[in-house]
């Protein structure tokens, strides 16, 4: 019997070349929620049309794409796949963007302003959009391949990092999490779990050293 592997996804427009190559080379495309099948049900339950349309737009761009695990957040969502919006007019609306790979104290969601983040007792946006999360994931994969050394630090040591000679990596669209670039190094700073769980010991940074021009940017 012949079995067929899932096809590679078509990378969404607007990503960096590095991220497009990452999605195409390392991603898979699997069946996912069809919003049209849920639209009437969601509207009957009082979910605003604009929020249903937000989920539909997410699914059209990212739905069904499975990517390799992130180096933090226990790998991130297993498959990008939206679910029923939840919230209210007063505080805004969120929707889940995929199941966790392992049992977690929080879920991965898109926030009222389109941010990608984690939600437990409190909402913590990590990136200004899901694109920023994917850019961060692609850069982590790229940097790990090209760095001559990788150092991981946690807790108070993260706040002691000297970033004076570094510039922010703009395409990451960082909020709680950010990437920084120097002449031969990249630093990823992850504060999302610390903020969301009120657990400062969860602050984490990964320092990638010994990178040439290609290693620093990868396109």
175 within domain boundaries:
yes
Q: What is the dihedral of CA 136, 58, 23, 5, to 10 degrees?
A: 140
pLDDT tens by residue, 142-192: 999 999 999 999 999 999 999 999 999 999 999 999 999 999 999 999 999
Last residue of a domain, one of 90, 106, 133: 133
Spatial distance between the Cα atoms of 54 and 133, rounded to a whole number of angstroms: 18
Q: Based on the domain organization, do 51 and 110 belong to the same domain?
A: yes
DSSP H stretches of helix in the chain: 17-26, 35-44, 49-62, 130-146, 156-159, 192-196, 213-217
Based on the fold, state whether residues 117 and 51 are members of the same structural domain: yes
Please check whether residues 26 and 128 belong to one and the same domain: yes
Comparing CA positions, the residue from 67, 19, 10, 8 lying closest to residue 173 is: 19
Q: Calculate mean pLDDT across residues 24-48.
A: 91
Band of the pLDDT at 55, cuts 50, 70, 90? very high
Tell me, yes or no, whether 199 lies in a domain: yes
Q: Do both 39 and 110 map to the same domain?
A: yes
Average pLDDT, the chain: 93
Q: Rounded to whole angstroms, how far apart are CA atoms 50 and 55?
A: 9
In a domain, 213, yes or no: yes
Instruction: Name the band, by pLDDT with cuts 50, 70 and 90, for residue 4.
Output: low
> Do residue 30 and residue 122 come from a single domain?
yes
For residues 128 and 21, state if they share a domain: yes
Residue 7 in domain: no
Rounded (5°) CA angle 115-73-155: 105
The count of domains in the chain is 2
- Among the three residues 81, 105, 133, which one is the final residue of a domain in this structure? 133
DSSP 70: P
Claim to verify: residue 93 and residue 187 sit in the same structural domain: no
Instruction: Specify whether 119 is located in the same domain as 187.
Output: no
How would DSSP label each residue in 6-57? PPPPPPPTTS-HHHHHHHHHH-EE-----HHHHHHHHHHTT--HHHHHHHHH
CA distances from 23 to 1, 135, 141 (A): 29, 10, 11
106 lies in the same domain as 182: no
Mean pLDDT computed over 190-215: 96
Structural domain boundaries enclosing 199: 148-217
**Residue 3, in any domain of the structure:** no
Plot region of 87 (φ>0 → left; ψ -120 to 50 → alpha; else → beta): left
Question: Does the pLDDT value for residue 2 go beyond 80?
Answer: no
Specify whether 118 is located in the same domain as 57. yes
Task: Decide which of 110, 133, 156 is a domain's last residue.
Answer: 133
Same domain, 77 and 181: no
CA 20, 25, 26, 30 torsion-angle sign: positive
Could you tell me if 35 and 75 lie in one domain? yes
């Amino acid at each position: 019997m012949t079995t067929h592997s899932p096809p590679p996804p078509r990378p969404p427009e607007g990503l960096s070349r590095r991220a497009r190559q990452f999605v195409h080379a390392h991603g898979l495309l699997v069946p996912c929620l069809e919003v049209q099948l849920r639209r009437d049900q969601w509207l009957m339950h009082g979910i605003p049309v604009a929020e249903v349309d937000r989920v539909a737009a997410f699914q059209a761009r990212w739905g069904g794409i499975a990517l390799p695990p992130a180096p933090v957040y226990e790998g991130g969502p297993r498959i990008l796949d939206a679910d029923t919006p939840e919230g209210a007019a007063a505080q805004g609306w969120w929707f889940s963007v995929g199941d966790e790979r392992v049992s977690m104290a929080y879920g991965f969601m898109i926030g009222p302003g389109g941010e990608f983040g984690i939600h437990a007792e409190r909402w913590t946006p990590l990136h200004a959009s899901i694109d920023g999360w994917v850019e961060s994931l692609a850069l982590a994969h790229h940097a790990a391949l090209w760095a001559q050394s990788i150092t991981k630090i946690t807790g108070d040591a993260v706040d002691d990092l000297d970033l004076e000679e570094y510039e922010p990596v703009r395409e990451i669209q960082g909020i709680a999490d950010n990437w920084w670039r120097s002449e031969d190094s990249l630093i990823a700073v992850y504060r999302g779990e610390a903020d969301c769980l009120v657990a400062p010991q969860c602050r984490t940074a990964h320092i990638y050293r010994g990178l040439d021009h290609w290693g620093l940017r990868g396109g």
